[in-house]
Structure 1
Amino acid sequence: METQFYITLTLKTPSGLEGFAKFFIGNDQERAFDIFQQLKGTHNVSEKNVLYIDFVETKNGLPVNLDVITCTLNELAENCRIITKELFKSENLEKF
């Protein structure tokens, strides 16, 4: 089974952490890491934060959290734009 990379979005709620989005960003570690590095936010994660973005590797069906950042709602909107743009480029432009 090949290695896959994801970016997951999680929201802190009164009942705990709730995942609400998951982006498959490919099988290429270098490319996936490059996309994650472009995201806006901070690595200074604390329990006061509400929005979390995880960089996850799935190998042999088992997920491993590689990195996490937290962001504001405005940064989240920008991050979704960045992820979508990068996925569009890799799926439509870089294959030719």
Structure 2
Amino acid sequence: METQFYITITLKTHKRLESFAKFFIGNNRHRAVDIFKQLKGSKNVSEKNILYFDFMEIEKGLPVNFDFITCTLNQLAENCRIITKELFKSENFESS
């Protein structure tokens, strides 16, 4: 089974953490890391944070959380734009 990379978006509610979006960002580790590094946010977590981006790897069916950031609502919008733009570029203009 091929290694897969995802970015998930999680919202902290009064009950629990709830994942509500998941981007498949491909099988290329280098490209996936490059995309995640472009995202806006912070690695400093506090109780006030409610939005998280998790960088996940699925290898042999098992998930591994590589990295995460927390962000504001405005950064969430910017990050979704970044991910969409980078996936569009890689799928349409870069050779596999």
TM-score by length of 2: 0.96
Structure 2 portions without partners, runs of 5+: none
Q: Deviations over 1:48-88 (max 9, x none)?
A: 21000000000001000000100000000000000000000
**Aligned partners of 1:47 and 1:65: how far apart in 2?**
20
Any residues of structure 2 matched to 1:3-82 within 5 Å, and which?
3-82=3-82
**Aligned partners of 1:57 and 1:47: how far apart in 2?**
26
Structure 1 portions without partners, runs of 5+: none
CA RMSD in angstroms comes to: 1.1
**Aligned partners of 2:85 and 2:68: how far apart in 1?**
21
**Aligned partners of 1:95 and 1:2: how far apart in 2?**
19
- Letter of the structure 1 residue corresponding to residue 24 of structure 2: F
**Aligned partners of 1:47 and 1:5: how far apart in 2?**
28
**Aligned partners of 2:87 and 2:39: how far apart in 1?**
13
Point out 4+ residue stretches in structure 1 off by more than 3 angstroms.
none
| Deviation at residue 95 of structure 1 after TM alignment | 2.9
Question: What is the aligned residue count?
Answer: 96
Query: Match of 1:49, SS?
Result: coil
TM-score by length of 1: 0.96
